[in-house]
Amino acid sequence: MNKKFSIITLKHNEKFYCKDNFDINNNNILIECVINKTPASSFPKNSTDFFDIYTEIKNNRFHLFIKPHKKQALFATPFDLKKNIAIPKERPKESKIWQIVGYENEIPFLSNKKYYGLNFPIKLPSTALPYIKELDINASPLVYNEGPDLNVFLSLREAYNNKNFTQSIALADNILQNFPDSIFIRDSLLYKIRSLNQLNQLPDNIIELAKMWIKNYSADTNVPEVLFIIGDSYSKLRNYNEARYYYNRIIDEYADSKYVQYANVGIANDMAVNGDKKQPMALYTKAYEKARDLDTASYVAVTWGQYEINNDNKKSAEILFSRVLEANPKYFLKDINKSYDYLKLLAENGLFEIAAKIGDSMLDSLPNDMFKERLMIDISNWYELAGKNEDAHRINLAFLETFKESNDLEQMKLRDDNLLFSLNENDINKQIEQYDYIISTYPNSKNSALAYEKKADALFKLGLYNEILNIKNNLDPKNPNINNAYIKLIENAKNCNDIIKYYLESDTILQTNNAESVALCLKDAAMFDKAMELSEFLLTTPLNTQEKLTWLSNLAQSAFKLNDFNKSAIASRDAFSLAKNSTQKQEMGVILFLSLANLNRNDEALKVYENLNKILPNDKSMLKVYNQLLLWAMQRSDNVAIEKYSKDIIRLQNLYKIYDYTPSVEINYADVLFADNRFSQMLEVLKNILSFKLSDDEIQKVRYLRGSAYYELGDNQKARNEIDECIKINLDSAYGRLCSEILGLM
């Protein structure tokens, strides 16, 4: 054919739309392709023998226009010709690969005839296909013979993408100096401007270079970005008027650019620096709401968050940083050093949890270098300060596994061991396992001592009170869990043996909910000293009237049993005055009476007796009172009183079938009746006396008294029987001899 033609191949990793535009003569006058993204680099307007190529950015979409100088045809290539496939008749509207053929009169290799037939499989071996290496520099669809400047440019772009900005500047200078006619001059300058800005180089230098770039490449799609860099550089120089000019240029001239929101943020930052408290917030809000991509929204949110921290609105800052973490965590990987500064700012202001979470999100994407090592140490600390001990422990374990040669290894291990005290807040059994680990790993250390204390806390929560007692020798003697364990064991005890066992083991005075039962068990076991200590202690605590009466009564009873009559007198007197119930009043009155009697305060005792006689004169407790009164009557040989109190004792003994004072009371009473010649009454008193257990002397006396009474009453037979029985016991005793004398008179 010997006809010239040209082919443009368009490729993208996602399907995109292309369409033909025909005039009235059915000539293809324009091909338009649309990609729903903006390019990473600018596309200059280009012209070849067959095409004019130009671009536009509309609504954040990249539009590529191809206008023919002669004729052109558009073909979609949605399949791989190297595979065994059928070539379909249908042509899609979207494809990952489009080809445009430019020609003069007739399209080469192809016919305009229409054919109808079947789809059929074909095979085109890859080795048989011609291959022309692609060159996609700046996304420009130009054929370019590979030269030395290309290699330098590719290295420049790689250095920039790897954030090696110093190297990318050096490579850009290499191209600018050694390849002044290179097609990469524009983009090399752009990468240099970007790198200088990333390194926070002298703003004056950046401004000069950026202005020159804009002057030369005013139609480039990256103009808004460079305008922002100029504005930002002026802001760093505190030349806010100039900064505002360039920010406004972006807003006015490039309304569809994402850098409009960057410009709004720049204006807000400058206003904040100058003390404006109102407008920055509105601008941040506007920029955030208008952001059309995640990275722009993230930039706005992070900058806004810094503003909130500076104005002490920490909660708002935390919300903003959290939004970025949730929606776009990879944003913090774009500039790890700047992100690290954000994290330290958050932590310095007490926002430990969000700082730790952001840092945590970065770890998997970082190499195991010094930066990651330092960051993990900080994240662990921040989690711990935020009370997120499980997360801190997780980071610690990862650090210990990843950085086994770290100088901070031992410090991190110790930190993690200390952290074990705070882990598993909801699993007490695991807490105990951790404490046992510390105890076994660090014996006789401060950590093991603390582990014992915390283990006691955990055991108490589980109700394992005996296990607390098993480790009490390892605990601080003042540890409250020891006494609290004893208290719980005493309160849960089912019998007095267990109550007394734990109470005595505690070796202290314990206040339990069943203290009355404890006191009763102690008294039943004749441990009146312990019962008295408990009563005295509880009387020093806040008590209501009934409780005070209870413990005064216990104190009075215990002190009386210990012969501490002074203490029992005081306690029983107070209890006697508080008691409303007649039984309680009677009990305390009796102890008070007997205590006063033992203190030889007889007059006071008699006054108490008068009160007792009005309350329950027939109560069995009165036996002790009557007996004391009888003893006093006998001491003063008051036969009237002896008879009275003897009768009272005998009456109550018979009423309650209690014979504690038999036979002495009957014999003493019989002496009074015998002396008063009331023999029949005497015989009645001694009628059944021999049914009780008496000593030989007491039996002889009873036989003597009864024999004498029968003799005086003239009943010699009964008298002789009594006397004979008396003599049989012991003739040589005092009453044996008296019985013998009476026998001699019969």
CATH number of the domain within which 514 lies: 1.25.40
Sequence-separated (6 or more) residues with CB below 8 Å from residue 529: 558, 562
Residue 497, domain extent: 493-582+589-602
**Do 399 and 412 contact (CB within 8 A), yes or no?**
yes
Q: Which of 41-50, 141-150, 637-646 has the lowest mean pLDDT?
A: 141-150
pLDDT of the residue at 148: 81
pLDDT tens-place string over residues 94-153: 888 999 999 888 887 665 555 455 444 444 444 444 433 444 434 444 444 456 888 999
Q: Give the pLDDT mean for 498-517.
A: 95
Residue of higher predicted confidence among 325 and 181: 325
Q: Confirm whether 544 is domain-assigned.
A: yes
Among residues 253, 283, 291, which one has the least CA distance to residue 266? 283
Using a pLDDT cut of 90, give the percent of the chain over it: 70
Residue of higher predicted confidence among 137 and 539: 539
- Let me know whether 104 and 169 are in one domain: no
**Do 43 and 73 contact (CB within 8 A), yes or no?**
no
- Let me know whether 528 and 597 are in one domain: yes
**Token code pair at residue 96:** 């990952």
**Number of Cβ within a 10 Å radius of residue 202:** 12
CA angle (407 as vertex; 404, 411 as ends), nearest 5:
90
One-letter amino acid for residue 280 of the chain:
P
- Let me know whether 503 and 560 are in one domain: yes
Sequence-separated (6 or more) residues with CB below 8 Å from residue 489: 465, 466, 498, 502
Highest mean pLDDT among 30-39, 375-384, 443-452: 375-384
Choosing from 201, 224, 239, the residue where a domain stops is 201
Largest CA distance in the chain: 184
Burial of 315 (0-12, 13-18, 19+ CB in 10 A): exposed
Mean pLDDT of the chain: 89
Element (H, E) at 12: strand 5-22
pLDDT of the residue at 139: 46
Classify each residue of 269-290 as buried b or exposed e, where b means 16 or more C-beta atoms within 10 Å of its C-beta: bbbbeeeeeeebbebbebbbee
One-letter amino acid for residue 690 of the chain:
L
pLDDT tens-place string over residues 51-95: 988 888 887 788 899 999 888 988 887 765 555 455 555 568 888
**Do 7 and 68 contact (CB within 8 A), yes or no?**
no
- Let me know whether 106 and 193 are in one domain: no
**Do 353 and 386 contact (CB within 8 A), yes or no?**
yes
**Do 492 and 477 contact (CB within 8 A), yes or no?**
no
3-state secondary structure of 108: coil
How far apart are the C-alpha atoms of 6 and 100, rounded to whole Å?
8
Query: How long is the chain?
Result: 746
Burial of 125 (0-12, 13-18, 19+ CB in 10 A): exposed
Sequence-separated (6 or more) residues with CB below 8 Å from residue 140: 43, 44, 46, 183
Q: Confirm whether 498 is domain-assigned.
A: yes
Residue of higher predicted confidence among 741 and 420: 741
Q: Confirm whether 250 is domain-assigned.
A: no
Q: Confirm whether 664 is domain-assigned.
A: no
Q: Please list the residues that pair with 56 across neighbouring strands.
A: 63
Half-sphere exposure of residue 277, counting CA atoms within 13 Å on the CB side? Answer: 3
pLDDT tens-place string over residues 257-292: 999 999 999 999 999 999 888 899 999 999 999 998
Would you give the DSSP letter of residue 526? T
**Do 458 and 432 contact (CB within 8 A), yes or no?**
yes
pLDDT tens-place string over residues 444-463: 888 889 889 999 999 999 99
How far apart are the C-alpha atoms of 42 and 325, rounded to whole Å?
31
Q: Confirm whether 742 is domain-assigned.
A: no
**Token code pair at residue 455:** 């283990």
- Let me know whether 594 and 501 are in one domain: yes
**Do 318 and 350 contact (CB within 8 A), yes or no?**
no
**Token code pair at residue 445:** 């250390």
Dihedral over Cα of 723, 728, 732, 734: its sign: negative
How far apart are the C-alpha atoms of 44 and 57, rounded to whole Å?
13
Which runs of consecutive H residues, i.e. helices, occur in 636-746?
A: 639-656, 664-675, 679-685, 696-712, 716-729, 734-745
Among residues 48, 64, 67, which one has the least CA distance to residue 4? 48
List for the chain the helix, strand, coil content (%; round to 5): 60, 10, 30
How far apart are the C-alpha atoms of 229 and 223, rounded to whole Å?
10
CA angle (122 as vertex; 121, 128 as ends), nearest 5:
160
- Let me know whether 158 and 72 are in one domain: no
Q: Confirm whether 595 is domain-assigned.
A: yes
Dihedral over Cα of 201, 202, 207, 212: its sign: negative
Q: Confirm whether 516 is domain-assigned.
A: yes
Structure-token match 């920029």, residue found = 287
CA angle (9 as vertex; 5, 12 as ends), nearest 5:
170
- Let me know whether 103 and 184 are in one domain: no
Residue of higher predicted confidence among 545 and 413: 545
Q: Confirm whether 711 is domain-assigned.
A: no
pLDDT tens-place string over residues 659-695: 999 999 999 999 999 999 999 999 999 999 999 999 9
- Let me know whether 512 and 569 are in one domain: yes
Q: Please list the residues that pair with 19 across neighbouring strands.
A: 32
Among residues 549, 468, 540, 453, which one has the least CA distance to residue 487? 468
- Let me know whether 107 and 180 are in one domain: no
Q: What is the pTM assigned to this prediction?
A: 0.52
Burial of 618 (0-12, 13-18, 19+ CB in 10 A): exposed
Element (H, E) at 19: strand 5-22
How far apart are the C-alpha atoms of 615 and 618, rounded to whole Å?
9
**Number of Cβ within a 10 Å radius of residue 676:** 12
Choosing from 602, 632, 658, the residue where a domain stops is 602
One-letter amino acid for residue 369 of the chain:
D
pLDDT of the residue at 190: 96
How far apart are the C-alpha atoms of 714 and 35, rounded to whole Å?
150
Choosing from 201, 231, 265, the residue where a domain stops is 201
In the chain, the number of structural domains is 3
